[in-house]
């Protein structure tokens, strides 16, 4: 399973069923990348897609249930991968990076409006 697929599963476990559009926004993935990842998760039997009865263009994605121990293993694997990736950074640098990424994601959430440069 790719990191993107794991991220999508975790989002769906934590937030419940989401529309493809909302899932893409929350995961910060392009529509093409999202569709491919969801296709693979669906083929693996890990998620289901459901068409909205009122709007056939809208699709909701829902994660299938996993045992808690299996979910915990996936969370642990992602945390280990994140720690390995961030290992070269000091605790202060990690904090700065997190703050910057939160600002970037906040900008994506409000239509991409950018704060003025300092």
Which domains does the chain possess?
3-66 (1.10.10.10)
**Confidence (pLDDT) at 110:** 53
**Cα separation, 62 vs 58, whole angstroms:** 13
Q: Which residues contact 26 (CB under 8 A, 6 or more apart)?
A: 11, 15, 18
Residue 56: its pLDDT value, please? 79
Name the token pair of 27.
């995961």
User: pTM of the full predicted structure?
Assistant: 0.69
**How far apart (Å, rounded) are the C-alpha atoms in residues 62 and 11?**
10
pLDDT level of residue 115 (50, 70, 90 thresholds): very low
Beta-strand ranges (E) seen in the chain are 18-19, 47-51, 59-63
Note the pLDDT tens digit of each residue in 35-59. 999 999 999 999 999 988 888 788 9
- Sorted by sequence, the CB contacts under 8 Å of residue 31 that are 6+ apart come out as 20, 24
pLDDT class for 116, splitting at 50, 70, 90?
very low
pLDDT tens across 70-97, in order? 888 888 888 888 888 899 999 999 999 9
């Amino acid at each position: 399973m790719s990191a993107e697929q794991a991220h999508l599963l975790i989002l769906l476990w934590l937030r419940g069923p989401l529309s493809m559009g909302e899932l893409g926004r929350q995961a910060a993935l392009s529509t093409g990348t999202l569709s491919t990842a969801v296709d693979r998760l669906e083929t693996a039997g890990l998620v289901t897609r459901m068409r909205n009865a009122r709007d056939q263009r809208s699709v909701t994605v829902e994660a299938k249930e996993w045992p808690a121990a299996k979910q915990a293993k996936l969370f642990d694997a992602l945390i280990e991968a994140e720690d390995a990736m961030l290992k070269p950074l000091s605790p202060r640098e990690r904090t700065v990076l997190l703050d910057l990424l939160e600002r970037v994601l906040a900008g994506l959430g409000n239509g991409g409006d950018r704060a003025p440069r300092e």
